[in-house]
Amino acid sequence: MKKENKPSAFSRLMEYAGSYKILTYMSWILSFLSALTALLPLVYIFFIIREVLEVAPDFSKATSIVQNGIMAVVFSAAALVIYFGALMCSHVSAFRIGSNIKRKLLKHISKLPLGFSDEMGSGKLRKIINDSSAAAETYLAHNLPDMAGAIATPLGMVVMMFVVDWRFGLVSILPIILAFLCMGKMIGPAMKEDMRLYNNALEDMNNEAVEYVRGIPVVKTFGQTVHSFSRFKASIQNYYKFCIAYTKRCRQPMLFFMLFINSAFAFLIALALILSNGGANVTSNIILNFLFYVIITPVIVTTMQRVMFMSEGNMTVADAFDRIDSVLNRKPFENTDKNITPDDNSVAFENVSFSYDGEKLALDNVSFEVKSGTSLALVGPSGGGKTTVAGLIARFWDVQNGAVKIGGVNVKDIPKEELMNTVSYVFQDSKLLKRSILENVRLSRPDATEQEVMLALEKAQCTDIIEKLPDGINTVIGAKGVYLSGGEQQRIAIARAVLKDAPIVVLDEATAFADPENEYLVQNSFKELSKNKTVIMIAHRLSTIQGCDNIIVLDNGRISEQGVHGELLKKDGIYNKMWKDYQSSVSWKVGENNA
């Protein structure tokens, strides 16, 4: 079977160029012309040296030095102007293409299920969006124009070197060949794989860093150290080990590369000594040619370094597209065209099994029903599957087996917009945008009036927050030192859910980061939010769920127990133990000698 050719990084970039594609080609042409023009001053310098040697010692006969000098300056300035034009074209094109890449990524991500960002990790996802588009911009803005110059410069120099004196030209090329051989040890498939592993290690470290920063309040509260975040520590060590090992592998090839590329003058001296019989038969022609090649060989160093970084740039942008494709290849949930409306606001799980990685089951054959207008609490040990159940209701993911139904209709058959209008989800750690309180709350209903937003804030117990802010409801969060506590942010998020007024409400540990005062207000806001709603609540503080119509205890992805609070306390099970532990923690007081 014939292997399908993978599109080059450049062809992939041009897919995003649109009408700006012509600017990329113009940057090549201008950079090529600039590189050739930059060689012309060397020719005029050669003319000056030749004239000086011909008229020596009577330098008054040198009549063309000024003219040749002016021409050298003119062509130097012309090369700079042309190169500036090349960079202008390449940068405009690069910024547009980089913007288009980001726009396509963000548009695609907006269509993916909400569980995707949790699955990939926000740090890794942000790095793909920012760093991959930045790599494309750098490649287009600098690497591609330099590539044209790197092609033009050697071509022009080869012509110049062999026209003046083929012997000196041949000796000048010899260190280039040796340097290329050394470069071969640092590029190629092995380097491409190293680049992939490097970016993987960097992404993992960024991802774990984000999670660590989010968990700092817990670390400080319980007096733990960074070592409690073993994955973050391991990611740092993995990145460190890889960078050290890679640097050591490249150390010797890079040493010889720099040695050969900067040693052209040594080869020229050796040849000059040979041609002059050890200095005994020095002629003006040998001196002239020697000086000319000493002047032009530093250009070789610059050109070779451009080639080396250009190769690295090719691999970087190729790896960037692999990471971009890792996002774009994720298929969004297909929006159904059945347009079936749920009969009521009940929620049912029918033999649901779900796995995040295709191996270990997060939920294993789970079945239950929450009748319309009733409440369900999900409790149990960490990792039991509580958040997974809540996420499947809002279709953050799709089940592998079984069905999740709302009002008797499979959530897969409910149009996306209607499902979003049916379910409100209040996260454990709600985030607010750096916008006004009004705009943050309006996210759930953009057409809501200011009066409706104010009413939602009042119902969510946010009046005290609004009163203390300098501009009230129009205060921008995060601006001029305006910040809210975790509990206050949670109440604003609840106001958003109140304004949305969805018939099904999912509360995922919504009081986890609230202090006692805020918890009381949050609980009051829950009462307002839950009126005449179907409520599914995840809670660790068991006092908040005693009045729920049903309590399900999840353990290792299975339903271990279910019933109302009183019934579960009569059983010698997980819930009974959790309640006793909770009661012990409530009755414990600082300073008492508790066994």
Q: Domains of the chain (ranges plus CATH)? A: 9-328 (1.20.1560.10), 347-587 (3.40.50.300)
pLDDT digits (tens, 9 = 90+) for 192-223: 677 677 777 777 777 777 666 666 655 554 44
E strands, 230-381, in order: 347-355, 361-370, 375-379
pLDDT digits (tens, 9 = 90+) for 451-509: 999 988 888 888 888 888 888 888 888 766 677 877 788 888 888 888 888 899 888 87
Q: Which of 150-154, 340-344, 559-563 has the highest mean pLDDT?
A: 559-563
**Mean pLDDT value across residues 136-149:** 83
Query: Could you give the percent of the chain with pLDDT greater than 90?
Result: 12
Where residue 592 falls among pLDDT bands split at 50, 70, 90? very low
Asked if pLDDT for residue 17 goes beyond 80, the answer is yes
CB 456 within 8 Å of CB 495: yes
pLDDT digits (tens, 9 = 90+) for 264-287: 778 888 888 888 877 677 777 787
- What is the DSSP secondary-structure string of 393-443? HTTSS--SEEEEEETTEEGGGS-HHHHHHHEEEE-TT----SSBHHHHHHT
| The length of the chain, given as a count of residues | 595
The pLDDT of residue 591: 44
E strands, 166-264, in order: none
The two tokens of residue 18 are 């649109």
**CA-closest candidate to residue 200, choices 325, 319, 328, 321:** 319
Q: Which residue has the higher pLDDT, 339 or 424?
A: 424
Q: pTM (2 decimals)?
A: 0.64
